[in-house]
Amino acid sequence: MDRKKYDGKINNKDRSKEKLINAVGKVLKKKGYVGLTATNIAKEANLSRRLITTYFDSVNHLIETYVKSKDYWVEASGEIGKIIIENGGDSSKNIIKYLLENQLDFFYNNSEMQKLILWEISQKSKIMYEVCEDRERLGSKIFELIDKDLQDSDIDIRAISALLVAGIYYMVLHAKSNDTTFCEIDINQTEGYNRIRNALNFIIENTYNYKKS
């Protein structure tokens, strides 16, 4: 006879870990990054504080685990092989378009990620520093692919990408925080949102066309 697996609160490690990770996001939305304490997270998860150190060693490691699970670029960089297959083989133009469009969609619709970026740019933090380092390291895979298509060109794709990514972050945060237009564009409206998506495509298309001229 097979032994019945106990699925109670004490032995269900995976479920408890998931609850703690999810609790980080809930606390972040309710209290902001200053509220990310072991006490608040454990209370939100309805679990003992000691489980944080048992499963994650420290509250900082728990928060880092959560942040990495939510960071768009860390996840996208890790999935670069799949993205290549889904977006036209070796065409880096299609891939960078896909990544930027999806970054806009993801960031606009994810209030937790918006809080994380605000944290990243407003307070020096070891946690966010390490996440940024991971993002840069993993993101280099994308640039390696793009470099193959733009070799022997004077196009600075890293600088162009930096402006586009930063612009997405700022426009979304501005729209969500102030609910006002930016350069007479309201991305909280469908028409304005689509104008930004079209502008992203226009810049990438012309970047690659410039390489051919």
C-alpha–C-alpha distance, residues 200 and 172, integer Å: 14
**Torsion angle of C-alpha atoms 195, 201, 203, 209, degrees rounded to 10:** -140
CATH superfamily of 13-68: Homeodomain-like (1.10.10.60)
Instruction: Give the pLDDT confidence of 64-91 residue by residue, as tens digits.
Output: 889 888 888 777 666 666 666 565 555 7
What percentage of residues in the chain have a pLDDT greater than 70? 86
Q: What's the whole-number mean pLDDT along residues 85-114?
A: 82
Q: How far is CA 125 from CA 129, 130, 131, in A?
A: 6, 9, 10
| One-letter amino acid for residue 175 of the chain | A
Q: How much is the mean pLDDT over the chain?
A: 84
SS3 content of the chain, % helix, strand, coil (to 5): 75, 0, 25
- pLDDT of 94 reads 85
What percentage of residues in the chain have a pLDDT greater than 90? 42
Q: What's the whole-number mean pLDDT along residues 87-100?
A: 76
Indicate whether 163 pLDDT > 60: yes
Helices 92-109 and 111-122 meet at what angle, rounded to 10? Answer: 100
C-alpha–C-alpha distance, residues 182 and 184, integer Å: 5
User: Which has more pLDDT, 199 or 75?
Assistant: 199
C-alpha–C-alpha distance, residues 70 and 26, integer Å: 13
Instruction: Give the pLDDT confidence of 175-193 residue by residue, as tens digits.
Output: 998 888 999 999 999 999 9
Indicate whether 6 pLDDT > 70: no
C-alpha–C-alpha distance, residues 141 and 78, integer Å: 9
Strand partners, 185: 182
Helices 111-122 and 126-149 meet at what angle, rounded to 10? Answer: 100
Indicate whether 146 pLDDT > 70: yes
